[in-house]
Amino acid sequence: MNVRPAIARMSAYSPPLEMRNQGDYLLLDFNESTLPPSADAVAAIRAYLEGGRVQAYPAYGNILERLGGYTGRPAAELILTNGCDQAIEIVERALLEAGDEMITAVPTFAMTTQVAQTIGARVVGVPYGADLRYPLEAVLAAVGPRTRLIVVTNPNNPTGTSIDGAQLRRILTARPGLAVLVDEAYYEFSGRTFAALLDEFDNLAITRTFSKAFAIAGLRLGYAMSNAAFVRELYKVRGPYDVNMLAVKAAEALLARPEPWQAYVHDVMQVAKPRVERFFREHGVRYYPGDANFLLVQPASVPDAVDYLKAHGILVRLMRPPVEHCFRLSIGSSQDMGRFMETYGNYLSQAGA
Ligand SMILES: Cc1ncc(COP(=O)(O)O)c(C=O)c1O
């Protein structure tokens, strides 16, 4: 096959799934929920399966109106996607041509770069500083004549750090004709959103997911928000049935009764995360504070710490340069993080012994 040179040059985005397919690990490596979705959501999935409509193509009903109630944006400004990954993909495919430039601060979520490369766009990665603050001035300085898109992951994965509205405004107004994608995959945990800026800026798109706080990563549901004219363009890029009905039925239930996932978010951010941070401080373990349901942790030896955790049934995520001196720890329920702290405490005492 004569694969396009842009594809031949790339490598696949292959997250480390091997260990997750075997054994009964506590999964603190992909920033998912450590608890399953609410009983209502599971019941809605089951009801759809048993309702005799699986053989029919999806008919999405009024899910966009319901999502509008949640996001505060009209249905015409929303498009559902097969995970946030696909939301990122359709935004980039709608905006970028081969040879265009996309700017992103690095390290960040790999999918944004992956998609741009499939298009043959050039990805300009502007490094975060050692303090992991967003490199705003360097991002603005990198804008050139071929820059079409700036992607901001907020809070960023894996640094956990965020930008504020004043910083985003400078990016949005950096140059006429420049588009800005803000990925708010961790919005429910951070409580930060730039959705209100959609009223002010027609060069802004925002992506989100049902994979994290809503706990349906396995069903693949995300969405993009932007002005209605751009959303109409996005519908040309997405397939008509790319989103499956089980995900939509679960989402309806999760939006109709948010208390269970809201309680989970509260437990993660107000109970478990402060406890884990206190544990690290008390044990002299360096970590980088952030706004999402994960932390970058800097142990004396990453391989030792990660291997010990794995041997004791807990998976965390190895990082690539420039943060290879850290592992990324997802924060789950306070009960699950109690197990993590007990295990890590044992590791520290045997490592110090
Ligand atoms: C910043 C960011 N965006 C998007 C995603 C993927 O979301 P989804 O599972 O909805 O494709 C992730 C998953 O880790 C992420 O960290």
> If you average pLDDT over residues 235-247, what whole number do you get?
98
> If you average pLDDT over residues 75-81, what whole number do you get?
98
The number of angstroms, rounded, from the C-alpha of 273 to the middle of its chain's C-alpha atoms is: 18
Lowest mean pLDDT among 12-21, 102-111, 237-246: 12-21
Q: Give me the chain's average pLDDT, please.
A: 96
Dist CA 248 CA 118 (whole Å): 28
Which pLDDT band, with edges at 50, 70 and 90, does 16 fall under?
A: confident
Token pair listed for 351: 């490592």
CATH of region 39-256: 3.40.640.10
In DSSP terms, which residues pair with 330 in a beta bridge? 294
Please list every protein residue whose CB sits less than 6 Å from any atom of ligand 1.
Answer: 31, 83-85, 109, 153, 157, 183, 185, 209, 211, 217, 222
The atom of ligand 1 lying closest to the CA of 210 is 10
Domain ranges of the chain: 5-36+259-352, 39-256
Q: Which CATH superfamily is 5-36+259-352 part of?
A: Aspartate Aminotransferase, domain 1 (3.90.1150.10)
pLDDT of 283 above 90: yes
Residue 302, pLDDT score: 96
Residue 17, pLDDT score: 81
Ligand 1 mutation pick, 151, 211, 296, max ligand atoms within 8 A of CB: 211
Asked, colleague to colleague, whether 5-36+259-352 and 39-256 share their fold, the answer is no
Cα of 296 from ligand 1 centre, angstroms? 17
pLDDT of 218 above 90: yes
Residue 22, pLDDT score: 74
Higher pLDDT, 22 or 243: 243
In DSSP terms, which residues pair with 296 in a beta bridge? 288, 328
Cα of 211 from ligand 1 centre, angstroms? 7
Ligand 1 mutation pick, 84, 152, 223, max ligand atoms within 8 A of CB: 84
Tens digits of per-residue pLDDT, 115-149? Answer: 999 999 999 999 999 889 999 999 999 999 999 99
Residue 15, pLDDT score: 84
Token pair listed for 326: 């850290």
Lowest mean pLDDT among 6-20, 91-105, 133-147, 163-177: 6-20
Strand order in 286-288's β-sheet? 26-28, 314-318, 327-330, 294-298, 286-288
Cα of 85 from ligand 1 centre, angstroms? 6
Cα of 209 from ligand 1 centre, angstroms? 7
Alpha helices in the chain (DSSP H): 5-8, 39-50, 63-71, 83-95, 110-119, 136-142, 165-172, 187-190, 228-237, 245-256, 259-266, 273-282, 302-311, 334-352
